[in-house]
Amino acid sequence: MLRKDINSHLPRYFGRRKGHALSKRRQMLIMDVLPRHSLVFDRNGRLNETASFGREGSLWLEIGFGAGEHLIDQALKNPNINFIGCEPFVNGVATLLSEIERYSIKNICIFSDDIRLLLKTLRRSSIDKVFLLFSDPWPKKRHNSRRLISSEMLDELSKIMSNKSKILVASDDLNLIRSVLNLFYCHQNFFWLADSKDDWENRYSGSIATRYENKAISIGKHCIYLSFTHEIKNYV
């Protein structure tokens, strides 16, 4: 329904939508469980938060949750927060659904498509925290336009993030980190929260390492953790 709103000429931020064949159980999760944990939209295509979560509350967004380890951990630690997980890779969605069922989690809803489609449905200033952890760095120069964070993406995020909200960005790719820092530095509504190197060399307080992060560390890669605040001057 929302697919037509994305220009087919725009680059994709993600690679494959599906990896190895899903087991019968995982197919069942996608067919039967995913609809119960999917977002609900009104007739105008806007997100209906109350219908989606069965309650009102602070809304946090994780873009590209991978296998969902971080998202599950955050949802369990913050039961009063409503979480949206965005991930187009169906195998990752199935893994997350398995954990949602295992822990009977009620405060996660999933959007299994392009993040740009989701952002169009969100109310202004409705998101209080954004996680963007170890996204595909697209290291080849010809693929740089496929990186998730761009000036255009920051403009869209600024519309839906509340004042004084935070966005956390982590990566083991130093070229991507340099690009991210430059983009945030050039944006008038985002400010880097760092006083010393400890602020970007240590994992965020209250968070766990993801599977990808552990793999990167095991082969000697250096992970960087960036935190930015979203502030609009003369905010109303």
**Looking at the annotation, which residues are catalytic?**
136
Helices (H), 43-89: 49-53, 69-77
Encoding tokens for residue 27?
């197919």
Encoding tokens for residue 166?
């935070």
Spatial CB neighbours of 62, under 8 Å, sequence gap ≥ 6 = 70, 71, 74, 83, 84, 85, 86, 130, 131, 132, 133
The residue count of the chain comes to 236
- Cβ distance 64 to 93 under 8 Å? no
How far, in whole angstroms, is CA 128 from its chain's centroid? 13
Spatial CB neighbours of 121, under 8 Å, sequence gap ≥ 6 = 2, 39, 41, 45, 46, 47
Among 25, 31, 18, 21, which Cα is nearest to 90's? Answer: 18
